[in-house]
Amino acid sequence: MAKPTRTAKELQQLVIDRIEAIPELRGQVTDAHRGGVIGIEAEEDGPNWTVRVLSDRNTHRSDIARIIRQLQMTYDMDD
């Protein structure tokens, strides 16, 4: 079954809204703010978008990664 689609801008806003719902992250600038959402080559049943990585991967947070994965499972990016 096809997932609903959203534009890159809409997906970016969904990611940012969920990140900023975490009290300690509200107001902090993340890769989602700076790099936005980009399209990627989808593997079988995989996501067709991701957040552009601009920061050191050692500083990534599992809660933000979980937010992105949940949204990737929910929405595809509009072409």
Q: Are 31 and 51 in contact (CB under 8 A)?
A: yes
Q: Specify the pLDDT at position 16.
A: 97
Q: Specify the pLDDT at position 1.
A: 72
Could you give the CA distance from residue 41 to residue 52 in angstroms, rounded to a whole number?
Answer: 14
Residue tagged 């050191």 (tokens): 56
Domain boundary assignment for the chain: 1-29
Could you give the CA distance from residue 50 to residue 67 in angstroms, rounded to a whole number?
Answer: 11
Q: Specify the pLDDT at position 51.
A: 96
Q: Specify the pLDDT at position 56.
A: 86
What is the mean pLDDT, run by run of 10 residues, along the chain of 79 residues? 92 97 93 95 92 88 95 94
Could you give the CA distance from residue 1 to residue 51 in angstroms, rounded to a whole number?
Answer: 24
Q: What is the dihedral of CA 23, 74, 69, 64, to 10 degrees?
A: -10
pTM of the model: 0.91
